[in-house]
Amino acid sequence: MPENASVGYQVIKLNVSDGDSSAASQQRMSFALHAARDLSSLVKFKIGPSDGTITVREKLDHELARSHLLTVSVKDQGTPGAKAGYARVAIRVADGNDHPPQFLRQVKVY
């Protein structure tokens, strides 16, 4: 994904299915960011609890973090007890043109 993605940019919409649920209960799944390789990633992204859409919450910087590895959970509303599933989502941040060129040494004009 691009480094210069704006806050709110949709990274991915996760799709899940539950083999023992009806279509109505499929709509009552709940998503959460469960863990991350680096805890700062949990601040950079958020997930829609009902639709599984991961979006950018804070500005990204390729030079500080080239990738983010999130663990996402999805929970059904089954009875007698809710069941959960987990997946890893790897997000690569592509370098953008966010730094101006600089002279290697001072230029003197006489």
**Cβ contacts of 24 within 8 Å, gap of 6 or more:** none
Q: What is the pLDDT of residue 46?
A: 97
Tell me: the pLDDT tens digits for 2-58? 999 999 999 999 999 887 765 555 568 899 999 999 999 999 999 999 999 999 999
**What homologous superfamily is domain 10-92 in, according to CATH?**
Cadherins (2.60.40.60)
Distance CA 38, CA 49 (A): 21
Question: What's the predicted TM-score (pTM) here?
Answer: 0.81
Residue 64 pLDDT > 70: yes
Per-residue pLDDT, 22: 59
How far lies 22's CA from each of 18, 28, 39, 103, in Å?
Answer: 8, 10, 36, 64
> Most distant CA pair in the chain: distance in Å?
84
pLDDT exceeds cutoff 70 at 108:
yes
Domain ranges of the chain: 10-92
